[in-house]
Amino acid sequence: MGAPSSRTSEAGSRLRAGTDAVVELGDSIVDPTTERDRERRRIAALCAPFAALLAVAGAYPLVEVVRISVSTEQYRSVGFSLQAYEALASDPFYWQVAVNSLWLAGGTTLASVGLAIPIAHALEKYDLPAKGLLITLVSFPISLPGIVAAFMILVLFGNNGVVTNVLAIVTGQEAIGLAIAVSVPGLFIAFCYSMIPRATLILRGTYAEVDVAAEEAAQSLGASPWQTFRHVTFPQIRPGIIGALILTFRTGLAIFGTLVVIQTVLVWTLQISRELATGYDIQIAGAMATVYFLFTFAFTALGLRYTSAEVGL
């Protein structure tokens, strides 16, 4: 009988100690008496707008989405049911949609980061002519909505696209047989068009921190450019590459506007829209949104943890 009572007392003491610490921290922020207290107040003031935005635009909508996903009624958040999640887990259709999302986002991520590495290398390592213009052109797609990017792919690679017509003239084939805008390759290009600039901007910042002296020392010892990159440069930019992979993969999972125009592959975000538009199955849409958030959050947390470990090394 004594042991449970002792554990309860210990737990109560820890709770009171934690409560007292929180109260003390609050008092130090409201009425600072030391320089450290004043620093805490400045940090709290700087974080307050983000905290408010996180609560209003992040936590509250997410809680509502979860409530909707387990609701027993279509238009009210009442009751509790896991029927929507059971449908996602048991229906092969949703598994195929998930697989489509992963391979499309994964493939375009690898291609985008693979192309961004030499682009960032060239922009940071060489004194290129009109370098400012080149940087502007590389980063410009970030400012374009996905629908505009998809429209540009249609203009270039559609049945009457510029590239399609040039290829038709060169090869002598029919333009309609060469058009790829509304095919998987066209969608792949549209995704990369939006993702390459994001990866490039991250890697440019990483390249700016590379130890040039170490590269020069390797070259002076007879290392070839490839050996210098592999053994000296790559280990330094590896955390940036991992960060670019995380960002571009998340971007690939979240792209929606492009898919509205080029509906070649059915992916998670597009299916959420269809669940709301056709039949208005709000529970399924809520469950899909919840699964999407949990997967993206877990992937980001694990990726950032690995990145931190790389930096620590």
The residue ranges of every structural domain in the chain are: 83-312
- Contacts of 49 by beta carbon, 8 Å cutoff, 6+ apart: none
pLDDT computed for residue 15 by the predictor: 54
Residue whose tokens read 């290129």: 128
Q: Report the predicted TM-score, pTM, of the whole model to 2 decimal places.
A: 0.78
> Can you tell me whether residue 109 is helix, strand or coil?
helix
- Contacts of 194 by beta carbon, 8 Å cutoff, 6+ apart: 141, 142, 144, 146, 149, 251, 255, 258
**Angle (nearest 5°) at CA 63 between 42 and 249:** 80
Phi and psi at residue 223, in whole multiples of 5°? -75, 140
Q: Which residues of the chain have pLDDT under 50?
A: 1, 22-23, 309, 311-313
Q: Which CATH superfamily is domain 83-312 in?
A: MetI-like (1.10.3720.10)
> Burial letters for 46-56: b for 16+ Cβ neighbours within 10 Å, e otherwise?
eeeeeeeeeee
- Contacts of 150 by beta carbon, 8 Å cutoff, 6+ apart: 190, 257, 258, 259, 260, 261, 262
One-letter amino acid identity for 184? Answer: V
- Contacts of 1 by beta carbon, 8 Å cutoff, 6+ apart: none
Among 235, 179, 228, which Cα is nearest to 206's?
235
DSSP class per residue in 204-250: HHHHHTS-HHHHHHHHHTT--HHHHIIIIIHHHHHHHHHHHHHHHHH
